[in-house]
Amino acid sequence: MVTFGTLSQFAALAFSLLTMACLLLGVMRDDGRWVQAGRRCLVSVAACATLASIALGYLFLSNNFQVEYVASYSDRALPLFYKLTAFWAGQKGSLLFWAWVLSLFSALVVYNNRRDPDSRLTPYVYLVLGGTLSFFLFLLCVVSSPFDLLDFVPKDGQGLNPMLQNPGMVFHPPTLFLGYIGFTVPFAYAIAAMTTGTTDASWIKKTRAWNVLSWIFLTVGIILGGQWAYVELGWGGYWAWDPVENASFIPWLASTAFIHTAIIQERRGIMKVWNMALILLTFLLCIFGTYLVRSGVLQSVHDFGATGLGGYFLAFLAIATIGGVYLLAESYRQFKTPNALESYLSRESTFLFNNVILLALAFATLLGTVFPFLSEAITGNKVTVGQPFFNQVNTPLFLVLIAITGVCPLIGWRKASPENLRKNFLRPALFALAAAVVLFASGIRMSYALLSFTLCAFVAGTILQEFVLAVLSRKAVTGEASWTAAPRLLWRMRRRYGGHLVHLGLVLVVVGITGSSAFKLEAQGTLSKGESLAIGEYELKYENFRKYEKLNRTIYAATLGVFTDGARIGSLDAERRYYVNARQPTTEVSLRSTLKEDLYVTMPGISRNGDITLKVAVNPLLVWIWIGGGLMVLGGILAIIPKRRRETP
């Protein structure tokens, strides 16, 4: 199976190079036969990459530890589920996963265009996809193959890192990869549009689902990563502005900006150059993020260390940047739209302002991420900027972004009259003011927290007003009852309300972030059996201690009774685990989560006499981050459900 996998990779590389050769000949000779052959070669790449992936999966399942990659990330005791997901646990396997998914996406693009009469764009789209695939397959075949063999056959593998044996971590990397990879398709269309001088919004329409879907995957990946960090790493937080976390967040910000201005191009036919620049930036940031994770230039708990791939990724990045910027400069005159904005009081202007803030956030985060690298290059000393930098710079920008999220839907396209603005702003503003008064009266004095909650109330008020007014208007036209009009409106205008749902989810995320950062409580203590530790309104009593074996680990568990006002409301099991083959202990988080707050317990130490050391935190409103994240994803899905097409006569 090793030779099968290796040869499948080489066959995939050969087909991807053939794809490019056929398409170039087809375009240069203006011969449709070569284009068709190139298209079919691209499908064959997907078939070969699938064979290689099946081979690697089989090697994991059959415990073939002579394969260095399998021996590094699996062992005999590893549960079947984790054995399959160990596929993408390391650098080499995740590279194959990347190439495989990109090849499947490319085949899907070919399928979607099977009846497309417009053959101007597609050869160039396939060419870019083929080129990107060739790069990844080259790395797999020549530099970093998951099918490399050891000189000996170990009796057992080293096992999967215990921290990766968590459902969140199983799905976090592939969803992030799906997001990164997905943006290759709109990038390919953008390059094709610039090459062919296709100035209309057809490439944006064709790639809308790809953009939003990739954005959804990035969102899911980021949320799962945060959730994993929260329940697995045991430091009590979910986001540490770690370089690898930032590497996924920066393209997320750029793609969010693109999704907004793409709407303007679709509606108004303006901002063409800006959109081209944004999609190029998003793709380049995805590749740059991959470079950060795989080059070893920055220290992170999540990276793959120095893999020797950094130089290749930099070269690819340089080619894509130079090529993209050159095409953009060449096609600038064609794409430039005169008199873009009719009024500063219009939705277009607020979208543009939202873009400026999103890009400022992306730039600040990028600067903080690469600062160690820049400072070392300039001064010779590696200076790292920590969480305070990111929090101080990004928090005010985020608050402005939230404010714009509320303002945007209140303003109409093209231009808004002051009279309409006043009328539309009044109710949400009053609602936000009332929320601020209630919060102040309930004792909240921290200015940032108060401002953040007030802005969240403003956005929620805006969304509510939008929906209620639309339902009333539908009722007036159709005579339907509210309970019929509301869901029908939601479904019929799902693109619009999907967007609102995303914004509502964002509001909940911000509520969760604000609550859990501004009002967090922490305590630490060592307890003997029967003793208690108090935090906020909770008291934790050390009741029992157990040691037992389960699957591939030995578990040491302390049972803690949870009390409030002297009444027992439940119990928590704080655990330390010792994974047999990985030979490393881990601390498992024990969590009592409610809509109001999370009680978060870890047990960093167990002494010989049975005393335990506990680290406890109360994180108010934190669960709303996950609920809000889920709502954002649901909104995104709702927004891309296609409408049934009516046949044109």
Partner 1 sequence: MELPILFFLVAGMLVYSLSPLFGPRKSRSDEPGAELRRRIADLDAEKANTLRAIKDVEFERATGKLSDEDHEELHSLYTRKAAEILADLETLRNEADRADDIR
Tell me which residues touch partner 1 (CB under 8 A).
1, 3-4, 7-8, 11, 15, 18, 26, 30-37, 40-41, 43-44, 47-48, 51, 117-120, 123, 200-202, 205, 266-267, 410-417, 419-420, 423-424, 466, 469-470, 473, 476, 493, 648
CA dihedral 170, 171, 177, 182 (to 10 degrees): 160
For residue 469, the minimal CB distance to partner 1 (Å) is 4
Cβ-contact 361, 253 below 8 angstroms? yes
* Closer by beta carbon to partner 1, 43 or else 150: 43
- Residue 619, beta-bridge partner list: 598
What letter represents residue 538's amino acid? Y
Please, is 350 exposed, middle or buried when counting C-beta atoms within 10 Å of its C-beta (0-12, 13-18, 19+)? buried
For residue 521, the minimal CB distance to partner 1 (Å) is 44
CA dihedral 196, 199, 201, 203 (to 10 degrees): 10
Cα–Cα distance for residue pair 135/313, rounded to 1 Å: 9
For residue 194, the minimal CB distance to partner 1 (Å) is 18
For residue 63, the minimal CB distance to partner 1 (Å) is 18
* Closer by beta carbon to partner 1, 100 or else 542: 100
Cα–Cα separations (whole angstroms), residue 135 to 14, 105, 224: 12, 16, 29
For residue 336, the minimal CB distance to partner 1 (Å) is 20
Cα–Cα distance for residue pair 484/482, rounded to 1 Å: 5
For residue 189, the minimal CB distance to partner 1 (Å) is 15
Cβ-contact 471, 486 below 8 angstroms? yes
For residue 40, the minimal CB distance to partner 1 (Å) is 4
What letter represents residue 261's amino acid? T
* Closer by beta carbon to partner 1, 76 or else 475: 475
* Closer by beta carbon to partner 1, 370 or else 421: 421
* Closer by beta carbon to partner 1, 329 or else 469: 469
Cβ-contact 247, 293 below 8 angstroms? yes
For residue 490, the minimal CB distance to partner 1 (Å) is 14
- 451-479 burial by CB neighbour count: b if 16+ within 10 A, else e? bbbbbbbbbbbbbebbbeebbeebbeeee
For residue 115, the minimal CB distance to partner 1 (Å) is 11
* Closer by beta carbon to partner 1, 287 or else 411: 411
The strand ranges marked E within 551-626 are: 553-564, 567-579, 584-588, 590-593, 597-606, 612-620
* Closer by beta carbon to partner 1, 30 or else 565: 30
Cα–Cα separations (whole angstroms), residue 27 to 33, 129, 203, 263: 10, 15, 19, 31
* Closer by beta carbon to partner 1, 133 or else 603: 133
* Closer by beta carbon to partner 1, 159 or else 409: 409
* Closer by beta carbon to partner 1, 413 or else 491: 413
For residue 466, the minimal CB distance to partner 1 (Å) is 7
For residue 256, the minimal CB distance to partner 1 (Å) is 22
Strands in 584-588's sheet, in edge-to-edge order, are 532-535, 538-550, 553-564, 567-579, 584-588
Structure tokens at 637: 């899905």
| Those residues with Cβ within 8 angstroms of residue 634's Cβ, 6 or more apart along the chain or in another chain | 501, 505
Phi, psi of 20 (to 5 degrees): -65, -45
* Closer by beta carbon to partner 1, 119 or else 334: 119
For residue 411, the minimal CB distance to partner 1 (Å) is 7
User: Three-class SS string for 416-440?
Assistant: CCHHHHHHHHHHHHHHHHHHHHHHH
For residue 619, the minimal CB distance to partner 1 (Å) is 38
* Closer by beta carbon to partner 1, 493 or else 627: 493
* Closer by beta carbon to partner 1, 361 or else 490: 490
- Beta strands at 590-593 and 597-606: parallel, antiparallel or unpaired: antiparallel
| Those residues with Cβ within 8 angstroms of residue 38's Cβ, 6 or more apart along the chain or in another chain | 18, 19, 20, 21, 22, 23, 26, 123, 126, 127, 130
CA dihedral 544, 549, 552, 556 (to 10 degrees): 20
- Number of Cβ atoms within 10 Å of the Cβ of 209: 17
For residue 418, the minimal CB distance to partner 1 (Å) is 10
* Closer by beta carbon to partner 1, 346 or else 619: 346
For residue 149, the minimal CB distance to partner 1 (Å) is 16
Helices within 337-417 (DSSP H only): 347-379, 387-407
Structure tokens at 204: 């944006």
Tell me which residue of 413, 397, 564 sits closest to 496, measured CA to CA.
413
* Closer by beta carbon to partner 1, 200 or else 537: 200
